[in-house]
Structure 1
Amino acid sequence: MPDTSPLHRDYPYTFRFLNTDLHLRDEPCHHTEHALRQLIVNRRKRTVTRATAIIPGSKQSLFAKVQRLDSFQSKVRVTFCTPRRNGRFDWPLEELQNTLQAQHRGVQMPALQGFGYTRGGLGLAQDYFLITQLLEGYTDGAKWLAEHPGQIETFIRKAFDLLDSLTRRNISHMDFWAGNLMQPADVQCPLMAIDFENCFSRPTLYPSETLGFQLGFFYHREIYRFITEARYDMLVEDYLKQKPPVSMADFDKVYQVSKHTHLGRKERREVFLQGRVMFG
């Protein structure tokens, strides 16, 4: 991530407690400060890599996602905001950068409210915090479908609308599955996207392959439980008719694989960057 001074101007309130600095968009109320302190204390006691927590507030509640950095090299890079050799940043900074880009481009998503990290040995980053608006009244799509399986096709069509909205804004969400789509209480309202860690915020040279992965992966994660593959393929076909022409040969070679095979982070990036599925 380049110069961070504009970012700090947008998040001007610094909350400091123990060895943690959090940069917030708004000055926290007493209830929020208490909850943040408790979250920081709890993280000092635990060694799990990732954790989430709800931060209650008198006016607005927040949602915190905390990730522990797993290597000395990662801690150094995140502390000094430097990329890896391949030009990509470590996952916490990737998520921060992608979240900011998506928010700036008007994606349907919870607003970013803050970020920061806990310093460990040698003053290096240890736990990275990303704090967003809490989507009260929303349920993640995986849980919602378990309770409303009869509305699977409505959910799929809304998911495709959201995917189309992301694509138009040059956001390629490479972890596009039901659990990362938030369903509001009012089913007529659009879905919201969360978790922009594994995303790209620039156009791909391989749009057909990338779309093939996203739609195949969406089916592979949860959706296959509620609909037949043949019916899902028909919904995908209807969706593609509404879009600019897609190279079906390029689309299908990735779509068919990703419907039935789990592709990890690295494999997903290969689809976006090289237009092919690679394993190992």
Structure 2
Amino acid sequence: MSFPDSSVLQDFPATLNHRNATIFITLSADDSAQQAIQDLIDTRFQLKDRVSAPLKGMENDLFAKSQPLDSLKPKLRVTFGRSKRDGSFDWPVEEVINTLGAQKRGAPVASLYGFGYRKSALGLIQEFFIFTQMLDGYLNGLEWLKQERDIQSLISASFKLLHCLHDKGVVHMDFWANNVMVNLEQPTLAKAIDLENCFLTPSDFLSEVLAFQFGFFYRREIFRFVIEEDYDLMVMDELDNYAGVDRERFDEVYAASKHENISRRARREIFHKGIVVTS
């Protein structure tokens, strides 16, 4: 594999080879980790669906993602380290780069343990694996809400997390309740997951980016638990923590993001150009 950012591999010096799979990890895997990873690889010869679950045999340590590449173009791009036309990489590559970058900045995210791939007989990558820290003692926002039924606390913890990510230069463009992991013992603390749709560079359109993030957070399930006017008041209070927000530019994108579908490609337009395209 030709990784687009070769420096990433320096942080994963150990290699685990099994069948036609290669996994790069931070440290030499102990016996249980190695066996669990091998077992996962073995099962992937029969399955074609995406996996996102605790690594079997290591439920308290690692979380595994497995994504088959189902067409020739992504297989070629990932194998040879190529980007898409819009400059982005396929999601597993983006997630590795963004998670490691956020982790190095001290952002509150699940740590990256390793990643790798499985190749076909032709030498093309046909499946990508990502292994992250298992966040024991955390629940995703919606699961936490089912237990505690405290929407105000969830929104407050999520807004605090979002601000912390911005402070670390991490712009999460898929920020919703299921990507917020709430600490069960200290609910005001949270960590972000699923960073494949993120940016690690500043945007010239902070007002529009924040408008999308707050609007999207409401649209993805939170609208079911809070009156819109009450949510708007919490957002307006939170904006005081950000410098240089243009309210006119914010309001236009915020209104659209709360009620319209905005694709992942369109989110890149918000970040790069401040333009919102709904579908």
Give me the TM-score of the superposition, normalised by structure 2: 0.94
CA 1:58–1:196: 2 relative to 1, 3 Å? closer
CA contact (8 A) 2:111 2:133 kept: yes
Within 5 Å, which residues of 2 pair with 1:10-49? 10-48=11-49
**Post-superposition offset of 1:278:** 1.3
Separation in 1, partners of 2:165, 2:190: 12
Moved more, 184-193 or 221-230: 184-193
Moved more, 35-44 or 56-65: 56-65
Separation in 2, partners of 1:275, 1:3: 27
CA contact (8 A) 1:29 1:57 kept: no
Number of residue pairs the alignment of both structures matches: 277
Within 5 Å, which residues of 2 pair with 1:49-68? 50-55=50-55, 61-68=61-68
**Post-superposition offset of 1:202:** 0.6
Residue in structure 1 matched with residue 8 of structure 2 by the alignment: 7
Query: Over aligned residue pairs, what C-alpha RMSD do you find?
Result: 1.7
Residue in structure 2 matched with residue 94 of structure 1 by the alignment: 94
Within 5 Å, which residues of 2 pair with 1:1-280? 2-4=4-6, 6-48=7-49, 50-55=50-55, 61-149=61-149, 151-279=150-278
Of all paired residues, the percent bearing the same amino acid is 42
Structure 1 segments of 4 or more deviating over 3 A?
56-60
CA contact (8 A) 1:95 1:198 kept: yes
Structure 2 residue runs without a partner (length 5+) = none
Instruction: After superposition, give the CA deviation of every residue in 1:174-198 in whole Å (9 maximum; x if it has no partner).
Output: 0000000001111345100000011
CA 1:115–1:224: 2 relative to 1, 3 Å? same
CA contact (8 A) 1:29 1:58 kept: no
Separation in 2, partners of 1:147, 1:64: 25
**Post-superposition offset of 1:121:** 3.6
Structure 1 residue runs without a partner (length 5+) = none
Separation in 2, partners of 1:38, 1:53: 14
**Post-superposition offset of 1:31:** 1.5
CA contact (8 A) 2:209 2:271 kept: yes
Instruction: After superposition, give the CA deviation of every residue in 1:65-91 in whole Å (9 maximum; x if it has no partner).
Output: 111112212111111212223322122
**Post-superposition offset of 1:102:** 0.7
